Chains A and B, each alone.
Chain A
Amino acid sequence: MSRREGSLEDPQADSTISLLPHLEAKIRQTHSLARLLTKYAEQLFQEYVQHQGDPFGLPGFSPPRLPVAGLSAPAPGHAGLPAPERLRLDAAALIALPPLLEVVRRHQAELNPRAPRLLRRLEDAARQARALGAAVEAVLAALGTETRGPRPEPAAAAAAAAAAAATGAGVFPAKVLGLRVCGLYREWVSRTEGDLGQLVPSGPA
């Protein structure tokens, strides 16, 4: 176990990792899932901006990147963290996303009721984020690494409840919120793919 953890903290030594076959398969599967969801997250982002109207889809459009309660973007130093810590952060973010994606979906159901594909993608994204988060946690457990205690769901649920209770904030800020959430989803799924990719043993599956 400690030999395994030691190799996790040294990403350059992956050629010497001798992972159990089932663990290797799990990592590969989760990595493949993350790769697929990265593609879907990009599609969701593009579909979202299309339905909000210009300037949302225009190059150079840059609303304030303000933090979302319960979730932030990957920190600049994320790549330098030990692998278990990176995966823990990935899992925590993925698990925090579904309530926020649901808020965005409900809002878009009122703003864009004739955009069924957008609404379906938002619904799917919430499920996919939850599934990928659970898969990453399973990888961490298989690696013998603890996940970070209680899930951050209460914080995310609180953010979603506050979102539902807030009044008078306006449609434009709500569009920006959705853009931010879809962007965070895309960033974290992509980040997870990268982090898992470093664990995938080289050579054919």
Chain B
Amino acid sequence: MPAGRPGPAAQSARRPPPLLPLLLLCVLGAPRAGSGAHTAVISPQDPTLLIGSSLQATCSVHGDPSGATAEGLYWTLNGRRLAPELSRVLNASTLALALANLNGSRQQSGDNLVCHARDGSILAGSCLYVGLPPEKPFNISCWSKNMKDLTCRWTPGAHGETFLHTNYSLKYKLRWYGQDNTCEEYHTVGPHSCHIPKDLALFTPYEIWVEATNRLGSARSDVLTLDILDVVTTDPPPDVHVSRVGGLEDQLSVRWVSPPALKDFLFQAKYQIRYRVEDSVDWKVVDDVSNQTSCRLAGLKPGTVYFVQVRCNPFGIYGSKKAGIWSEWSHPTAASTPRSERPGPGGGACEPRGGEPSSGPVRRELKQFLGWLKKHAYCSNLSFRLYDQWRAWMQKSHKTRNQDEGILPSGRRGTTRGPAR
């Protein structure tokens, strides 16, 4: 049995798995029958140690006493020969080793400490596990897709580097009753994540925590308490269509469908739209498109291809007061605005957050004016729609006039036509 094992924390660590056949002569302490060969035993066998600690080990030679002496034996660690001054001969058949201030293990299967005979042959080996106990995992976050499952992610303590294999186990239970359960599907959305696929209750809180265990000890995160309904997310809105708005060169119409998995529950769903010019990486975001499945983007550049995406936040589901979790963005849908000779006025019902300064205020003021007119001038038929129709008519008229006067689309005058305006 190995001697000099570290303290209780290491005692609770896993032992080396018992997987060698009794007849297998790879146990390097067993002499080869009839050969007179020397073999040895290293003690301690497979110790677990804290980083910075020391190790005292021995290599005791068995076999033919006349040939097996400690003189000439030497040690290697991970294939590198250790300095002779670290070793000393204890007796005729035993060579001792003293290592101080150990570094973390180079590989998770353990550092290979080997005792060699004078001719370099291997007499015995032992694997060292040098590392740190786990620190408390933290920052647990969870979400449920369509109230059907639960996925959780966490951050390992101490940035996860313990130099030892550390096992993380996500546990959960109903807050006021029920037994502890263990999540089984790991690494679903990253190395520190787990997915619970079914059998989850609604309208009752769960307690969720993470336990980290390695050869040197264990640690437990704080408990997260949540109701599945408070962390619901859903699929991106399907069937996103982007189209032109008649001849309006600065607008595009976006339509989508409510995510089907929750469509019967999304009474208060929020949507968000983002769009960008084809050759740009900067997205503009339209916030708080509340409970509609269409929106018009305004203030766009004429003759330009735009990519558009939509996402959904199913907040308020079954009366939940929590903010809800945004879905992934839908697949990008592209459309182009019509070409024009003059820039559009800009502004609209779904103005971008960082919209063009020249278009936003004009359209807002117009909206306020129309609202005032409706109240005070009994112009019930006035609306943005009417305004947009007027603008489309204006542009058509402008084009027709330009053609009559020989103005080409680029603004250049045709050679066979009359003078420019």
Known contacts A53-B109, A170-B45: A165-B125 contact under CB 8 Å:
no
Determine whether the beta carbon of A172 is less than 8 Å from that of B121: no
Contacts of A67 on B, CB cut-off 8 Å?
25
Task: Identify whether the interface residues of B are mostly helix, strand, loop, or mixed.
Answer: loop
Is B114 among interface residues, defined by CB-CB distance under 8 A?
yes
- Which stretch (B15-23, B66-74, B205-213) binds chain A? B15-23
Which parts of B105-128 form the interface with A (CB within 8 Å)? Answer: 106-114, 121-122, 124-127
Chain A residues near B45 (CB-CB < 8 A): 168, 170
**Which of A16-24, A30-38, A107-115, A192-200 lies at the interface with chain B?**
A107-115
B32 contacts chain A at the CB level, 8 A cutoff: yes
Q: Which residues of B contact A112 (CB under 8 A)?
A: 108-109
Instruction: Decide if A110 touches B20 in the complex (CB within 8 Å).
Output: no
Listed residue (A69, A113, A114, A173) with the most chain B CB atoms within 10 angstroms of its CB: A173
Interface flags for B248-265 (1: CB within 8 Å of A; 0: not) read: 000000000000000000
Give the residues in chain A near B20, CB-CB below 8 Å. 163, 166, 169, 173-174, 177
Contact call B19/A174, Cβ cutoff below 8 A: yes
Contact A62 B19 (CB under 8 A): no
- Which of A52, A160, A172: most chain B CB closer than 10 A? A172
Q: Which residue of A103, A107, A163, A173 is within 8 Å of B28 (Cβ)? A: A173
8 Å CB interface, B259-301 against A: none
Q: A164-B19, A170-B45 in contact; A68/B24 too (CB < 8 A)?
A: yes
- Contact of A172 with B19 at beta-carbon distance under 8 Å, contacts A55-B76, A55-B114, A66-B25 already known: no
B394 at the binding interface (Cβ < 8 Å): no
Q: Mark A169-184, 1 if CB is under 8 A from B, else 0.
A: 1111111110010000
What range describes how many residues of B lie at the interface? 35 or more
A40 at the interface (CB under 8 A from B): no
Known contacts being A171-B46, A172-B126, is A159 close to B21, with CB within 8 Å?
yes
| CB atoms of A173 and B27 under 8 A apart | yes
B83 within 8 A of A: no
**Contact (Cβ within 8 A) B107 A51:** yes
- Is residue B1 contacting chain A, with contact meaning CB distance below 8 A? yes
In the docked arrangement, what's the CA distance between A172 and B45, Å? 9
Contact A163 B19 (CB under 8 A): yes
Give the residues in chain B near A113, CB-CB below 8 Å.
108, 165
Point out the residues of chain B lying under 8 angstroms from A54, CB to CB: 78-80, 112
CB atoms of B127 and A171 under 8 A apart: yes
Cα A170 to Cα B26 with chains together (Å): 10
List 24 A–B pairs whose Cβ atoms lie within 8 Å, in order of A's numbering. A52-B109, A53-B78, A62-B121, A64-B121, A66-B25, A69-B21, A107-B17, A111-B17, A113-B165, A159-B21, A159-B24, A160-B21, A162-B21, A163-B19, A166-B19, A167-B18, A169-B18, A169-B27, A170-B125, A171-B110, A171-B126, A173-B28, A174-B17, A175-B112
Which 3 residue pairs across A and B have the least CB separation, nearest first? A172-B125, A54-B79, A55-B79
